Amino acid sequence: MMIKFFCITIISLSIFSSIAQSDGGKRIQGGLTANAGFNLISPGLLKKFNKDGSNSNVGIGFIFNSSFKGSSTLGISSGLEFDFDGARFQTEDSIFYDFTSNQILTESNSGDKEGTFYLQSRNQKTIYATVPLMLLFRTEHVGNFRYFAKFGLRNSILISSLMNDEGVNVTDSAQHIANDENLKFESPGEVFLFRSAVGISGGAEWQFLESTSLALEFGYFYGITPLYLDRKPENKTLYERNDANQKVYLSNKATQNQFIFKLSLLF
């Protein structure tokens, strides 16, 4: 996957470079970008889960900036990035799920279970394809530097989601067997497929060669979509047991804000 990504990136950079050269390098820039930061997880009102320590995010991709015709200081910034995020939770109450192989089962297919897991903490790893769409405000060059601000959206589509869970394997009679980890487990449909955040960022661009610049920026993005989908009862995976030892299914609830540091090499 990464090899394909870099091949696509190299081809894209060649196209961007050609465009930039034909336009004098003034209106359109394209290049590589990498980012790192941390996520602020806000558990929902259900309060069945608490955030557990820091949650990181890293990403890599390509970026393009384009000034509007007739303006050197106002334009748009977009691109394609692959974000690798982490979200850590601890359970507040006794939460269980049924599983088979490395698949977490829903209520509707729980009859296929090979075991039951008492969940105590979860480290969720996700990969998103993200397309930023930002208004770009730039100053004129002051020497080799110019400064910029951006405002807009980061829209993402989920590519992959894996859960690394810590807890206890239990029998049907809820007798503890051993402390255990369920690593790289899948739960299709539990994480919301679409993620959107609105935010602002700012930074500086250093033109160290005639047609090549290095840009550093810092941004904050407020999540406007939930991380988890409140699915139909038959599609839920997590459950508690009531006084009659019956399963009561529930969904995790959380939103996410992000601080992102980004470094871009622009041509």
Q: Is 262 within the bounds of a domain?
A: no
- Tens-digit pLDDT profile for residues 55-90: 889 999 999 999 998 888 999 999 999 999 988 888
Instruction: Tell me the sheet residues that pair with 164.
Output: 123
Q: Is 266 within the bounds of a domain?
A: no
- Tens-digit pLDDT profile for residues 157-190: 999 999 999 999 886 554 555 578 899 999 988 8
Q: Which residues, other chains included, contact 232 with Cβ-Cβ below 8 Å and sequence gap of 6+?
A: none
State the total domains in the chain: 1
- Residue 153's SS3 state is strand
Residue type, 26: K
Decide: 200 and 220 in contact? Cβ < 8 Å.
yes
What are the two backbone dihedrals, phi and then psi, of residue 211, each rounded to the nearest 5 degrees? -125, 20
* pLDDT of amino acid 10: 45
Q: Is 134 within the bounds of a domain?
A: yes
Q: Is 246 within the bounds of a domain?
A: yes
Q: Is 151 within the bounds of a domain?
A: yes
Which candidate, 200, 185, 192, places its Cα nearest to that of 258? Answer: 200
Q: Where are the alpha helices (DSSP H) in the chain?
A: 2-22
* pLDDT of amino acid 19: 45
CATH code for the domain of 96:
2.40.160
Q: Is 158 within the bounds of a domain?
A: yes
Q: Is 121 within the bounds of a domain?
A: yes
pTM over 0.95: no
Q: Higher-confidence residue: 17 or 42? A: 42
Question: Residue 27 sits in which domain range?
Answer: 2-255
Mean pLDDT of the chain: 86
Q: Is 260 within the bounds of a domain?
A: no
- Residue 240's SS3 state is strand
Residue 124 pLDDT class (50, 70, 90 cuts): very high
- Whether 101 shows a pLDDT value over 60: the answer reads yes
Mean pLDDT over residues 217-227, rounded? 95
By DSSP bridging, strand 103-104 and strand 55-67 are unpaired
* pLDDT of amino acid 211: 86
